[in-house]
Structure 1
């Protein structure tokens, strides 16, 4: 589906909510909706039940697949919420600065 900038964040030691969070970007509302539809369909075929929010507008679609939460954003919305920064390891900045 040509999703862009896909990132997986390990949540095992950070939250009881899920084990992992996947964050990806679609170029437009239609692209976000298409990516989300494909993910939902593939999960359904694999026998995974999902809860979905945000499909009517497709600025940000959240797919709760139990142990994995998938966020599909338009670029502007992803930049605004900056989930990667919120869930980044606290020492990540220190490691980057030392490099």
Structure 2
């Protein structure tokens, strides 16, 4: 995917998550760190119901905008749902599960604070 398409995909993901009231949105630039994706987005939901709803709505939004179908893993339990949209990978967690796995720390190695962008 071209860089401007990846940026548009990331912007769409972040907008949909913000619209769905995702909490503690963090974006990690994976360029040069991994070949799995260009960006990783990590968010929390207040409950398994919200996590599942956010994941399903995001998958539908991406499909409607020509980025799908995407791969979803972790439903219906929805403690941790992984959405793979190609160049953008999204992890949606319940807060307790997110703090246990602490993906931000694992993937932000070597970054200066401005490389791992946090949004509230």
**TM-score, scaled to structure 1:** 0.89
Name the Cα RMSD after superposition.
1.3
Structure 1 or 2, whichever has the larger Rg, is: 1
Matched, 1:69 2:89: yes
Whole-angstrom distance in 2 between the partners of 1:59 and 1:52: 13
Partner residue in 1 for 2:106? 86
Deviation at 1:56, TM superposition (A): 1.1
Whole-angstrom distance in 2 between the partners of 1:91 and 1:65: 24
Whole-angstrom distance in 1 between the partners of 2:105 and 2:32: 16
Unaligned runs of 5+ in 1: 94-99
Deviation at 1:89, TM superposition (A): 3.3
Pairs aligned (count): 93
Partner residue in 2 for 1:26? 45
CA deviations 1:32-57 (Å, max 9, x no partner) are 01111111111011111211100110
Unaligned runs of 5+ in 2: 1-19, 114-120
Distance 1:91 1:55, change over 3 A: closer
Matched, 1:41 2:70: no
Secondary structure of 1:16's counterpart equals coil
**TM-score, scaled to structure 2:** 0.74
CA deviations 1:13-47 (Å, max 9, x no partner) are 10011000000000000010111111111101111
